[in-house]
Amino acid sequence: MPSRPKDPAAPDGFATLDLDARVLSELAALGYEEPTPIQLAAIPPLMAGRDVLAQAATGTGKTAAFALPLLHRLNTGAPPRERTAALVLVPTRELAMQVAEAIHRYGKGLGAVALPIYGGASMETQIRALKRGVDVVIATPGRALDHIRRKTVHLAAVRTVVLDEADEMLDMGFAEDLEAILAATPAEKQVALFSATLAPRISAIAKTHQRDPEVIRIDREAVKPGRASKVMQVAYMVPRAHKMSALGRILDVEHPTSAIVFCRTRNEVDQLAETLNARGYRAEALHGGLSQDQRDRVMKRFRANTSDLLIATDVAARGLDVEHVSHVVNYDVPSAGDAYVHRIGRTGRAGRSGVAITLAEPREHRMLKNIERVTGQKIEVVPVPTVADLKARRLELAQAALREVILGGELDPYRAIVAALAEEFDVLDIAAAAVKQGAASEADAEAEEIPVAAPAREKHPARERAADRAERKAAKPAKPGRVVHAASGGAVTKLYVGGGRKLKIRPGDIVGAIANEMGVDGSVIGAIQIFDRHSIVEVSEAIADEVIAALSATTIKGKKLLVRPDRAGR
Ligand code: AMP
């Protein structure tokens, strides 16, 4: 294999797999940090041209395991009839689309063209696309055979055939079609067979169509559950599109004192941190893209309890020395049983109770079963909390918080209000109204630190510091013309940041930079407007100078930007 230039931004774990630098940079752009076990096991033999017989379910990263090697055997410059170098057979239309999308993405830098062809879609459109030239055809067996019989697909140049979810294809009655398709491809070819089970009928196909395959089984060995046994384990089945909002709701109900949320990719980590911050959590992102210095700061804040949620990739969380967390959340089903055990071992320490929550897409059900099998423990599948559950839980939390406030005393200043209202209303009604007001405007309550939020006070030192400073400053006469009033009531100032849409800056990037550098949360930041070449950020006047210093010292989207008070705001 000729040596290729390595992309310095590429994730390290993939560097040993001898992948093309252009593929490596796509993986980096996707936020992949290291190969999954199936990828580590399958990529080297496939790159070497060997056949592979792999037992791996959806969710293990199996698509990249076969897709990355086949990208290195393409012939993108060939005329259309000789161009198709790989054929991937899949059981369903959905999978065909998904695999095509993945191959398109991984092979973008190589100019690879991937086409999904499946039944129920227009034959004409597929034929037109095939005529233009396709490197990888991803097909359901029935439709593939249709095209073969009509001679509208040309497989003479195929060097790799992948049977993905082979057991499913057999279950769906495609055995004969598979035979016919395989017979229509060149005798000299690499065959990769992926299946959730290695049942005898799969072995039979392997025997007929493979030559000395490398056999790979992931998760066969049971792992020692160890600490995991003290942890309550639950899973929520959530369709991909609803995962973010489901997680928000689950966290609202679970109310963790401190939690680590594990994601597969850097991009997911960043997105999730942004979303959860917007939801009022103090979430910090931790992934391999951060410098050691940034990581240390994130960890310091998490240990000091200035953040409630640590959103991390496995790589970044490895070797993390965290004493105890109340919850471990798997935003995706981990790609192997031991990764799961390792992750959830971070909760339930020292005899304390812990909760492990896993969000699984319906199609990842089998992965979940796999994990149950290797850990020998049951993971209870529970429904996502409803809005009604959430409301009930909020009231419960409000009740607990009130109880603490009452026991804490120092209520005299408020008694006067109650006494005044009691002349007009029933005391129970007054109390109920106070609770309603607190529960209805939770976000406002936090920002304004009304007594209901009192138990959370120790958990929010940074926020309080910023709020205190804002209060002190706000008490001084503000400079005329610079002041606008924020929802929080403090004085705010507008800052000019010398970058905007053209640099793909989003509000979350600015909030993230301020939060990261200063250890404060989003509540000290007001409206953010992004223009083509600049952005305007409103911050509490009290901390404006600090924000300018902090943003000037860091980078946003990898660039140092000019940050100064906005002249138009004066
Ligand atoms: P699959 O098992 O192929 O359906 O992949 C499951 C998910 O894992 C997909 O969303 C992939 O994008 C993602 N994925 C695959 N490989 C990796 C990796 N090495 N690191 C992070 N995510 C990955």
Q: Are residues 200 and 76 in the same domain?
A: yes
The pLDDT of residue 364 is 87
Residue having the nearest C-alpha atom to atom 11 of ligand 1: 61
pLDDT in tens, 234-252: 999 988 888 888 898 899 8
**Ligand 1 atom closest to the CA of 59, numbered from 1:** 2
For the record, the structure tokens of 38 come out as 């199936």
**Ligand 1 contacts CB of residue 342 (under 6 A):** no
Are 203 and 152 contained in the same domain?
Answer: yes
DSSP 477-519: PPPTTT-EE-TTSSEEEEEEES--GGGT--HHHHHHHHHHHHS
Same domain, 207 and 268: no
CA nearest ligand 1 atom 18, residue:
32
For ligand 1, mutation pick of 58, 63, 97 (most atoms within 8 Å of CB): 63
For residue 326, how far is its CA from the centre of ligand 1 (angstroms)? 27
Q: What distance in Å separates the CA atoms of residue 75 and residue 383, rounded to the nearest whole number?
A: 48
Ligand 1 proximity of 35 Cβ (cutoff 6 Å) = yes
CB of 529 closer than 8 Å to CB of 501: no
Maximum distance among all Cα pairs of the chain, rounded to whole angstroms: 94
270 alpha carbon, distance to own chain's centre: 8
- 43 and 140 together in one domain: yes
Below-50 pLDDT ranges, the chain: 1-10, 227-228, 441-489, 569-570
Q: What is the pTM of this model?
A: 0.66
In this structure, the answer to whether residues 42 and 165 fall within a common structural domain is: yes
The pLDDT value given to residue 8: 42
DSSP SS3 for 231: strand
- Residue 63 Cβ inside 6 Å of ligand 1? The answer reads yes
Closest CA to 524 of 503, 505, 510, 506: 510
At 139, which CATH number?
Answer: 3.40.50.300
* Beta partners for residue 262, in sequence order: 312, 330
Give the residue whose CA is nearest to atom 15 of ligand 1: 61
> CA angle at residue 115 from 182 to 62, to 5 degrees?
70
Closest atom, ligand 1, to C-alpha of 363: 4
The whole-number pLDDT of residue 350 equals 65
* Residue 466 located in a structural domain: no
Say which CATH number the domain at 517 has: 3.30.70.330
Residue 326: inside a domain: yes
Select from 527, 529, 528, 532 the least CA-distant residue to 500. Answer: 532
Backbone angles phi, psi at 411, to 5 degrees: -105, 0
CA 285 to chain centre: 11
- DSSP class of residue 441 equals T
Given the CA of residue 57, which atom of ligand 1 is nearest to it? 2
**Which residues touch 119 (CB under 8 Å, ≥6 apart)?**
93, 140, 142, 143, 146
CA distance 472 to 305: 25
CA dist 567 and 53 (Å) reads 65
* pLDDT at site 528: 83
Q: Is residue 453 part of a domain?
A: no
Cβ distance 362 to 333 under 8 Å?
Answer: no
Q: To test the ligand 1 pocket, which listed residue (264, 268, 359, 363) has its Cβ within 8 A of the most ligand atoms? A: 264
Q: Are residues 109 and 247 in the same domain?
A: no
Helix (H, G, I), strand (E, B) or coil at 299: helix
Contacts for 422 with CB less than 8 Å, ≥ 6 apart: 430
270 & 403 share domain: no
Ligand 1 neighbourhood includes 326 CB (under 6 angstroms): no
473 belongs to a structural domain: no
Helix pair 387-408, 243-254: axis angle to 10 deg:
30
Asked if residue 267 has its Cβ within 6 Å of ligand 1, the reply is no
Substitution site in 23, 94, 335 for ligand 1 pocket (most atoms within 8 Å of beta carbon): 335
Rounded distance from Cα 62 to ligand 1 centre (Å): 7
- Choosing from 217, 249, 284, the residue where a domain stops is 217
Ligand 1 touching residue 32 (CB < 6 A): yes
Q: Tell me if residue 101 falls in helix, strand or coil.
A: helix
The sign of the dihedral angle between the CA atoms of 480, 481, 487, 490 is: negative
Q: Is the CB of 370 under 6 A from ligand 1?
A: no
Output the CA 330–ligand 1 centroid distance in Å.
Answer: 14
| 214-217/563-565 β-pairing | unpaired
512 CB within 6 A, ligand 1: no
The alpha-carbon radius of gyration of the chain (Å, integer) is 28
Domain region containing 119? 12-217
> Does one domain contain both 546 and 488?
yes
Contacts with 246 (C-beta within 8 Å, 6 or more apart), sequence order:
236, 238, 359, 384
Confirm if 262 and 340 have CB atoms less than 8 A apart.
Answer: no
Query: Do 433 and 539 have their domain in common?
Result: no
Quick check: CB of 265 below 6 Å from ligand 1? yes
Pocket probe for ligand 1: among 38, 265, 272, the residue whose CB has the most ligand atoms within 8 Å is 265
Same domain for 23 and 75: yes
95 and 187, same structural domain?
A: yes
Q: How far is CA 200 from CA 163, 170, 204, in A?
A: 16, 12, 6
Question: Does residue 264's CB lie within 6 angstroms of at least one atom of ligand 1?
Answer: yes
94 within domain boundaries: yes
- Residue 91 resides in a domain: yes
Is residue 208 domain-shared with residue 109, that is, in the same domain? yes
First to last CA, the chain: 63
Number of domains in the chain: 4
- Candidate of 36, 138, 271 to mutate for ligand 1, largest count of ligand atoms within 8 Å of Cβ: 36
